[in-house]
Amino acid sequence: MRVNKMDRGEIYQALEEEFAATFIKELIPGILHNFANPLNSIMGRSKLLQRRIEEIAKKMEEIYPETAAGMKEDLQRIKTEIRAINQESELFFDLFKSVTGKFYALDAKGENRINLSQLLSEEMRFFNFYLDFKHEIKKVVQLNNDVPSFRGNNAELSLTFWKLIRFAMSRALSTSLKEFQIKTEYDNKYVSVFIRNSGGALPASDIEALMESVKSNSREMVATVIDRGVLFSLLILNKYQARINIFSEDNFSILSIGFPYLDLKS
């Protein structure tokens, strides 16, 4: 019997893939859990420290007014630095919530009420961890939080919109314009999202192949620009009876997705 031998690089790659496979379900949730307590402690103690320095400064002014006057600049400097620590810790906590929110969403089981704008708002916060998206792309975000909700699964919708936004982001980065827009709206039937990005119109043949695969529920398609991840995302949305359209406008490509919230409300 012939034995297939793996070289050193193949063995390393196999182990690396096993390690990466633990990220979403095991490693990242554990890391975030271990970060949570120290972060809460830092925030709590820094706020307490700010209150105490204010109280000490006030007492000094009452009991030792001359000393307080002589130390006025020093005390003000301490107050400013503690205030800055509080502001930075709150910013870090917001970033922490963006990461935890994403991974909790990916671990969601079953269906619950989905507010599309809130879900997309969390996705956009998470995308700021992609530095090219944060610093290089001109973004316009118009999310209407009053959109009607519908029943859905957070995990699959979070992953689906991650892929669609990531694809639009990649297209936007490929041009000098580097523009991205996302907005939500609703009418008496649909809750809709529009994802608009620079990068030119998608090839008509690709769009036709993509929509044909979505219509036939096929996992295969022949396309030059649109990858299979986009197809898989639209296949998931198709299970929500979503109204899907792809079209172009000047140098922009636009993807519109409408969820029939009345049909999905029960």
Averaged pLDDT for residues 144-153: 95
Averaged pLDDT for residues 103-132: 90
Number of Cβ within 10 Å of residue 176's Cβ equals 7
- Give the per-residue pLDDT at 4: 63
- Give the per-residue pLDDT at 258: 98
Confidence of residue 124 (pLDDT cuts 50, 70, 90): very high
Closest CA to 227 of 204, 210, 239: 210
Q: Is the dihedral of CA 262, 263, 265, 266 positive or negative?
A: positive
Contact present, 253 and 229 (Cβ < 8 Å)? no
For 57, the 3-state DSSP assignment is: helix
Half-sphere exposure of 252 (CA within 13 A, CB side): 14
Task: Tell me, yes or no, whether 265 lies in a domain.
Answer: no
Task: Tell me, yes or no, whether 211 lies in a domain.
Answer: yes
- Specify whether 119 is located in the same domain as 206: yes
Mean pLDDT of the chain: 89
Task: Tell me, yes or no, whether 2 lies in a domain.
Answer: no
- Give the per-residue pLDDT at 263: 56
- Specify whether 133 is located in the same domain as 55: no
Examine the fold and report which residue of 79, 106, 133 is the final residue of a domain before the chain moves on.
106
**Beta strand 179-186 with 150-152: parallel, antiparallel or unpaired?**
unpaired
Examine the fold and report which residue of 106, 139, 168 is the final residue of a domain before the chain moves on.
106
Number of Cβ within 10 Å of residue 225's Cβ equals 16
Instruction: Identify the residue with better confidence: 255 or 38.
Output: 255
Task: Tell me, yes or no, whether 68 lies in a domain.
Answer: yes
State the Rg of the chain over Cα.
25
Residue 197 sits in which domain range? 112-260
pLDDT tens digit sequence for 195-216: 999 999 999 999 999 999 999 9
pLDDT at 68 exceeding the cut of 90? no
Task: Tell me, yes or no, whether 11 lies in a domain.
Answer: no
- Specify whether 75 is located in the same domain as 163: no
Examine the fold and report which residue of 106, 124, 152 is the final residue of a domain before the chain moves on.
106
- Specify whether 255 is located in the same domain as 195: yes
Q: How far is CA 170 from CA 63, 89, 161, 165, 184, in A?
A: 63, 32, 14, 9, 21
If one counts the domains in the chain, the total is 2
CATH classification at residue 210: 3.30.565.10
